[in-house]
A and B are shown apart, each in its own frame.
Chain A
Amino acid sequence: MSRRVVFPLKVKLIMIMVGLLISSISFYAIFALNLFEKDKSAYIYGNSNEANISFSQSAINYLNSSFERLHILSFIPTHQLKDVLSNYSDVYHLEIKSSSDDKNTFYNLNQIEKDGISKDEYKTIVDSFDTGSLNGFKIFKDEMISFLILKYENIQKGVTLTISLSTEELDRILMSFSQYKSNIYNLDGSLFYSKDENTTSYITDINKSKLDEATIDVDSENPRILSFKIDSKYNLIFTTEILKSEAYKVNDYLIGKSKVFGLVILSLSIFIALLFSRSLTQSLEKLYNFTLSISKGEFNQNVEIKSRDEIGALGDSINFMSKEIVRYMSEMKEKARLENEIETARYVQSTYFPEELIESHNHSIASFYKPASECGGDWWGFIENEDRLCIVITDATGHGVPAALLTATAHCCIENLKQVGGDDLKSPAKILEFMNSSIQCLDGKMLMTAFCCVLDKESGRAFYSNASHNPPLYRGVIYDETKKNNFKPLLGKTGPRLGHKEFGNYVDESIPLNEIERILFFTDGILESKNSENKEYGQRRFLKSLNKYGMRNNKGFIDSIVEESFLFYGDCPIDDDVTLLSVSMKNSGELKMVDLNNKEIEKKIKENISFSSDIFIRDTPINKDGSFYLSSKSDQENIEILMNNPKINHLVGANSANIVEELLLNINNYKRNMSLGEYLDEYRFHTTNVHSKEDFDKINNLLGTLDVDGYFESPIDYLKIISNELLTNAIYHSGEGDVFTERSSMQRKSTPVLTDLESVDYTLAVGHENIAICVTDFTGKLSRDIIIENLERSFREREHQSKNGGAGLGLFLAFSYANQLIVRTTPGKCTEVICIIEKNKRFKMYKERITSFHYFEEKDVV
């Protein structure tokens, strides 16, 4: 189900919008206000500076004009001065002193009395002021009166003028910049003139600036802006100062207003964001709730979104999806019902097929079936009784359920015939006719090819009849690997497909049963299926595969063919159903076991040997396990036959004086691994261990004492050569790994010395009818392939090999001088090589004897 919503989209949107607004407004405010403040500061500082300049200039102008007035007065005759001075309202008094020290003083009583003091009081004040030491100008100020005294000496006229002026003009100048506090200081920082006695000169800050004129920040406790100008003519410092808070009052007011405005905008934005997010999330909530309903299986609902944006489109899409889900679910229900029915049909059809591997007394049936879809149109079945095996294979037109239903009909036909078939089971044509009549009820709408084969043991023939099916392929008992193709089709008259015509008029064909080793029935699916390159598997590849695996047992044969074909198809699905079944005959009864041209020997063998079903005695080579080949060919030809028929392990010289006994011994050996003692009969003569070539003398001496009465002259020479060669091979091919390699390639003039565990057993046995030599090594390296390849090379080249180690002729000499060569190998453990020379008075007969070869390979020593 859905997760719990703890952080709604609405909150996210509001947070994003508010965050964006706050950050943008803050950025703007900081940036803009900073600029505004800088600009305002420049303006304030500039104004302060200009005010100071104006102030200082006004004061200086006043001083200049006052001195110019004194200069002019110095030229006016004394008697006229009084009248002139009466026009000057700001003058308190004027003193003119000549160079002769004559002094005239003029008092402006109007001005003096204006300040509320008498002339005498004034004179007392002035007299207390030492004007003699005055140099230039000075301010006098007390509680009663204040005035500016200026002293001017006109050297040309020889007079010195001292005048006291009202400070009203200075006050006016000081007050002309009301927002500023203006002061005049002496250069030492002492106050020259100010309206406020409690002023600070900030001379330290001024001096620190090292400038004559500037505007600076002073007083960290009460920050203020100070503009100053140093006048070098009058040695005065003119200052104007203002508290920063006063100067920035407007600025702070504006910033405060801006903040309020920003907050108003922010609040408004949040309100708008709330409205917007609500309209957005309301639709989403609707969709969310709708999907919850869908997840609960409530598909028959609609969600109504009125907005004409993407969310509205999403709502329409979800509504459509909901309707489609309802429709799809309905279809799925129907599909599931059909699949269930098909699965049931597939299961029912699978019960019509026999098991994949059937082993009966007389036959082995291995099969493979793979439908192209759930159900197939192929089918096969069988009926078996003591005397015969009836096989039917069918292929309905198409595949799938309709074809499967047709196979059900075929299956029912065979089941019915099983019960009531009687003699009809002897005739494949009648079986097909019966099936045809059953399928007729479909009015030719569905057809089926079929092939029926009856393997009739009673008559010794294989009967078959074909209803337009692929002819099965059979392989004869003689398998010739040199031939390109060992499989033949079961050909004959072909009838119509089942269901095609009212009467099929099928015909029985037949071939001798004993000509058949196995029959492969198949449908055309394996041939017609294609690979990714759109190439059909085809008959050529199919036949090649049959011949390649034709020697395998029935199941291995089918498995290999199927594997190879499906390797070819790769990932491509098969186009048609694939059905294959291989029926092989199990030879039973003496007739099938021995089949020789020489009926006399055949009879003799039958009389003396009790067979099991896995032994075959033939005078033609059958490349099959359990095959005993009676050969009349030369030794060299026989080796070639053994080379070309790797499954023939037993070749008996047809001119053996005692074929039956040799066969009996070797068949018994084949069946139950006889001990060597049983093999060589009871007259064991001597057994000894051989460690090196040093021991050969004692073997030769032993052979020298052998009683060979009844043999041709000097069989001992041959026995010595055989012993020498077999022992040499065993000694020089002993050991493991590097030891084996070293000994094998060792120069034969040197001899390895075997340990007791490695030593070779040598047994010489003399029986009534033969002398046998048995050499046993304990490496188990001598395989059939090595023996046959060595003999084949030796017979072909008839030369020694130019290589390190042996001459490569030892086995060749042993084989050539022995009448029977018997090898029993347990790979990796031991090998017994037995050479038998049969009792024979005549050397010619000894030489004419076709050498027998028997090879046994045991999996392990028991």
Chain B
Amino acid sequence: MSEGLKINTGNENGNLVVTFSGLIDEDSNFSSLENKLIGNVIFDFEEVSLINSCGIREWVTFLESVDKGVTLTYRNCRQIIIEQVNMVHGFIRDGAQIESFYAPYYCEDCDQEHKIHLNVSDVKDGQAPVLKCPKCKTADLEFDAIEEQYFQFIK
């Protein structure tokens, strides 16, 4: 069986923070969040390792059960999450917003890929922000994905 999905909840400035860790798949159980999601809720995907097709369905079903009055914010979305958001409708419901995410950057000098944590506000006009390599500190990083495709979720 899969490693399973772990769900932790916490409080941040009066907002409920739900931290997911592990694999979102058909076995994922979101029942522990029933009746807890009120007001502003932040979903933290920092620790999500993977999400498969059945996991997408489970997630969409879970979102449909969340009260429409709840404001959802996605935080620390890993690249795999962003790709799912871009590929499949319903992963992020109307009115919800992504606060921060990871994006692939590449340093020619270091010949290394870096997953850079970005806030949505960093993306201007669909263009990835220009950043320095966190390793060599000198070279400009090159955004290592198709911007138009990767930032679809921001639209």
Please report A residues at the B interface, Cβ cutoff 8 Å.
693-694, 696-697, 700, 712-714, 717, 720-721, 724-725, 728, 747-749, 797-800, 806-810, 812-813, 816, 841-844, 847-848
Contact = CB atoms under 8 A, between A and B. Distances in A.
B27 A749 contact: yes
Contacts of B114: 713
A720 B51 CA distance: 10
Interface string B11-53: 0000000000000011100000000000000000000011111
B90 interface: yes
B20 to A, nearest CB: 16
A800 B53 contact: yes
Contacts of A713: 104, 113-115
Q: 10 closest pairs, A vs B, by CB?
A: A748-B26, A809-B53, A807-B57, A800-B57, A713-B113, A843-B104, A843-B144, A844-B144, A807-B53, A810-B53
Given A721-B80, A724-B25, A724-B50, 14 more contacts: A696-B2, A697-B1, A721-B50, A747-B26, A748-B54, A798-B87, A798-B89, A800-B60, A807-B57, A809-B53, A841-B113, A842-B113, A842-B144, A843-B113
B136 interface: no
B52 A728 contact: yes
Nearest to B142: A844
Nearest to A712: B113
B88 A799 contact: yes
B89 A712 contact: no
Contacts of A816: 87
Nearest to A807: B57
B26 A843 contact: no
A809 B83 CA distance: 14
B83 to A, nearest CB: 8
A812 B2 contact: no
B54 A806 contact: yes
A724 B53 CA distance: 9
B56 interface: yes
B122 interface: no
B149 interface: yes
Contacts of A844: 104, 106, 143-146
Contacts of A812: 53, 87
A824 B79 CA distance: 32
A714 B79 CA distance: 10
Contacts of B104: 712-713, 843-844
A700 B104 CA distance: 23
Given A697-B1, A798-B89, A807-B57, A724 B52 contact: yes
Q: Name, among A700, A812, A844, the residue most crowded by chain B CB atoms within 10 Å (CB to CB).
A: A844
A697 B2 contact: yes
A371 B146 CA distance: 66
Contacts of B94: none
A283 to B, nearest CB: 103
A327 to B, nearest CB: 90
B116 to A, nearest CB: 11
Nearest to A692: B1
Contacts of B125: none
A848 B144 CA distance: 10
Contact of A694 (B1, B25, B26): B1
B155 to A, nearest CB: 14
Interface of B: 1-3, 25-27, 49-54, 56-57, 60, 79-80, 87-90, 104, 106, 111, 113-115, 143-146, 149
Contacts of A798: 87-89
Contact of A800 (B2, B88, B111, B115): B88
A717 B50 contact: yes
B23 to A, nearest CB: 9
A808 B2 CA distance: 20
A728 B54 contact: yes
A808 B50 CA distance: 18
A812 B57 CA distance: 14
Given A694-B1, A800-B57, A847 B113 contact: no
Contact of B49 (A696, A717, A725, A749): A717
B21 to A, nearest CB: 15
9 contacts: A697-B1, A713-B113, A749-B27, A798-B88, A799-B90, A807-B53, A807-B57, A844-B146, A847-B146
Given A693-B1, A749-B26, A800 B50 contact: no
A843 B145 contact: yes
Given A798-B89, A800-B60, A848-B146, A843 B106 contact: yes
Contacts of A697: 1-3
B53 A806 contact: yes
Q: Name, among B51, B52, B87, B115, the residue most crowded by chain A CB atoms within 10 Å (CB to CB).
A: B52
A814 to B, nearest CB: 9
Nearest to A797: B89
Contacts of A693: 1-2
A728 B89 CA distance: 22
Contacts of A797: 89
A813 B144 CA distance: 20
A747 B61 CA distance: 14
Contacts of A747: 26
Contacts of B143: 844
Contact of B88 (A714, A721, A806, A809): A809
Nearest to A798: B89
Contacts of B56: 800, 807, 809
A714 B50 CA distance: 11
A847 B147 CA distance: 11
Contact of A717 (B25, B80, B89): B80
B52 A813 contact: yes
Q: Name, among B53, B80, B104, B113, the residue most crowded by chain A CB atoms within 10 Å (CB to CB).
A: B53
A187 to B, nearest CB: 138
Contacts of A700: 3
Nearest to B86: A798
B82 to A, nearest CB: 12
A798 B27 CA distance: 22
Contacts of A714: 79
A713 B111 CA distance: 11
A717 B84 CA distance: 13
A855 B153 CA distance: 33
B50 A712 contact: no
A123 to B, nearest CB: 170
B3 A712 contact: no
Nearest to A801: B57
B26 A800 contact: no
B90 A800 contact: yes
A841 B113 CA distance: 8
Contacts of B90: 799-800
Contacts of B57: 800, 807, 809
A810 B60 CA distance: 16
Contacts of A807: 53-54, 56-57
A807 B91 CA distance: 13
Contacts of B80: 717, 721
A273 B73 CA distance: 128
Contacts of A717: 49-50, 79-80
B58 to A, nearest CB: 9
Contacts of A806: 53-54
B107 to A, nearest CB: 11
Contacts of B25: 724
A730 to B, nearest CB: 14
B65 to A, nearest CB: 14
Contacts of B60: 800
Nearest to A817: B83
